[in-house]
Chain A
């Protein structure tokens, strides 16, 4: 046999083909699994069948063996005390005892959950189940072809607040399994500072949603009185608005503020998407915000401020609008006075209270951040293992069945009416009356542009707090960018 010299060219050729072959073989591996049907959305029967068993809170009929990858952002009540997601792990464990053929693998998501989920969904590699999925998750999942529709059983739909299910649909299709409801972004006021500043009389006593008793002027006045220097030289501020944040969704407090002022950033009106921020009301609201820094001087310079609102608030600010979530008082370290709804944080040794946003000159109805499309839902995906989809759906339906929702009814506000009826917590009851019915989402969410809208608001906020800022210029740029986007349904 002839001895052949292996040339560099041939070697590289062989190596390249070999590695390509290995690469392609690795890619093709899942397809080699026997009898693996293509992932598909559950049919009505599939969705309803496990539900019937779940509703009775009894063990469901044996499902196909499956491993469900389950990811979730920590519950608002647990976020500070449950870094490992023990809450979700315990629920998973309970389900696995009822269904030994199903294995739930839980992974906690932190503040990187938004970028992480975006990346996973874009890459077409989602978990089988996500807890706290909002409208953005649907948009990304649809874009990458991994969204799985869920048809909730009628009994489930009937047990939700009026129109909750209908308003949670996206383009007429359901993707959510509602777990709890949240209207965050109430105003949180530090009662210790208010007492020290002698500003207690400026606080509204009673806050019926249909007859709001305080205005933005009163709110500003409260902040003015709370802006002072302590004896030790520490500066106390009326509030804080950091503009430099990494998470694009952290500017929802300003969005809520805009609604309560009586304006909007983007809206669908008369059959078309319109940019509202440049209108008279939008400009007036931004002027009020800008005045807080430059004229009233009740907030520290927001430019470049990266501090978390809550962290800054704890350091010394009278009012903040972030994380005003009614579930926070349910944490172990919080003690709630049922009469005054004052909440004593025994860990950080401060007392605070939740208030709705004040109403602006052109607002007709107090609003807060929430609604059925907020990230308080379960969502299932077409993952790698088709058998996991029905198992994940069944697990989510079991997790949110009426009996189980009653079990966590005093931890978070449950989604079902039957579970809301057993809520005893005074702050959750307060929220149920004055916050929950008026929860909204960004209008841009329905147009498929929630992320861009949030980023646009961030840019506007960053611009208006710069020295010599021109509000009209900032809003013109925002509107120009928004209207250049391709808006989806209901356009």
Chain B
């Protein structure tokens, strides 16, 4: 008998036990599938099915043990009609607009400085140092920042006080609160982005910078003309990930401001949390989550499209 690829599965061939009915390629394929099976299984159970349930919850009036009624798009129209949701959407976008460009630029600058260090071990020390905060719980970081922002005893007010400013109510002033949360994200830098940028920068041939220097290009010119075009794939990756993270921001809001004052820091992530955990409304929470998902997918597609026009290689 022939296998589908035309190779004869010879009985007793090497690696094939007596009575085996599978060809080598089939067995290889099977073992490959077996390797990915646990992930696929878990992915389906913990990702695909919950996503499906979220879609289902968003179109029904769900009662755990009561009668669940199909309500169509009512949950979506209810959510969109809520002032709090619209405000949270605006806040999330504003937060992303503040955080993404600033953290990306800062991470790139730090990466350039790190890679300009001639000694590799020192580079590694700096890379590890900047990456380290990324492994600390976001909750712990937010708690520390809450103390830093404290209007009475906070470190930040002490620092600005040295210049005769303040005291500033960083988290209590609605005009400042969202900016303060963004400031925390920006100053915390993005350790993962720094590592990605470092790897990309180290892949650029040194000779290009040398030639540019000989031609009289300064620091900014060299990086604008050489670095930027050559790291665009990494830049795209970092910007997309940072945008996704910023639009889903929750922990700093939950720990530091609870969405206030007067909804000034309520983001979509926090809105979803409140709908589910305070009000027990899985339908509106799911609908808000799906609206955020749609917005995120749209934005990511836009970013890919825009960046793909400038990606050099």
* A20–B45 alpha-carbon span in the complex (Å): 8
The one of A119, A459, A465, A467 that contacts B277, using a Cβ cutoff of 8 Å? A119
Q: Do A462 and B65 touch (CB < 8 A)?
A: no
Q: Do B280 and A244 touch (CB < 8 A)?
A: no
What total of chain A residues lie within 8 Å of the partner, measured CB to CB? Answer: 53
Inter-chain residue pair count (beta carbon < 8 A): 129
How many whole Å from A425's CB to the nearest CB in chain B?
A: 36
| Cβ–Cβ < 8 Å partners of B133 in chain A | none
Residues in B29-83 with C-beta less than 8 Å from chain A: 29-30, 33, 37, 40-41, 44-45, 49, 63-66, 83
| Cβ–Cβ < 8 Å partners of B5 in chain A | 5
**A451 proximal to B (CB < 8 A):** yes
Complex: chain A residue closest to B282, CB-CB: A122
| Cβ–Cβ < 8 Å partners of A382 in chain B | 65
Q: Do B278 and A115 touch (CB < 8 A)?
A: yes
Q: Do A244 and B173 touch (CB < 8 A)?
A: no
Instruction: Identify the stretch in A53-61, A143-151, A324-332 within 8 Å (CB) of chain B at 4 or more residues.
Output: A143-151
Task: Given the known inter-chain contacts A19-B45, A455-B278, please indicate yes or no for A3 contacting B21, CB distance below 8 A.
Answer: yes
The one of B29, B44, B277 that contacts A118, using a Cβ cutoff of 8 Å? B277
Residues in A1-43 with C-beta less than 8 Å from chain B: 1-6, 8, 11-12, 15-16, 18-20, 23
What total of chain B residues lie within 8 Å of the partner, measured CB to CB? Answer: 47
Q: Do A15 and B276 touch (CB < 8 A)?
A: no
**B261 proximal to A (CB < 8 A):** yes
How many whole Å from B57's CB to the nearest CB in chain A?
A: 11
The B interface, classified by DSSP as helix, strand, loop or mixed, is: loop
**B296 proximal to A (CB < 8 A):** no
**B169 proximal to A (CB < 8 A):** yes
* A304–B152 alpha-carbon span in the complex (Å): 12
Q: Do A244 and B171 touch (CB < 8 A)?
A: yes
| Cβ–Cβ < 8 Å partners of A243 in chain B | 260-261
* A347–B204 alpha-carbon span in the complex (Å): 65
* A267–B254 alpha-carbon span in the complex (Å): 31
Q: Do B173 and A303 touch (CB < 8 A)?
A: yes
Q: Do B177 and A304 touch (CB < 8 A)?
A: yes
**B98 proximal to A (CB < 8 A):** no
**A125 proximal to B (CB < 8 A):** yes
**B3 proximal to A (CB < 8 A):** yes
Q: Do A15 and B45 touch (CB < 8 A)?
A: no
The one of A1, A140, A451, A462 that contacts B260, using a Cβ cutoff of 8 Å? A462
Q: Which 4 A-B pairs have the closest CB atoms?
A: A304-B172, A124-B64, A303-B172, A145-B65
Binding site for A on B (CB under 8 A): 1, 3-5, 9, 21-23, 25-26, 29-30, 33, 37, 40-41, 44-45, 49, 63-66, 83, 146, 151-152, 169-174, 177, 254, 257-258, 260-263, 276-280, 282
16 contacts between A and B (CB under 8 A): A3-B21, A3-B23, A18-B41, A19-B41, A23-B45, A119-B280, A124-B65, A144-B64, A146-B65, A301-B151, A301-B169, A303-B174, A304-B257, A306-B171, A451-B278, A481-B83
**Given A146-B65, A305-B172; 16 other pairs, CB 8 A cutoff:** A4-B4, A6-B30, A12-B40, A19-B45, A114-B278, A115-B277, A145-B64, A244-B172, A244-B260, A246-B258, A248-B278, A301-B172, A303-B174, A455-B278, A466-B262, A467-B173
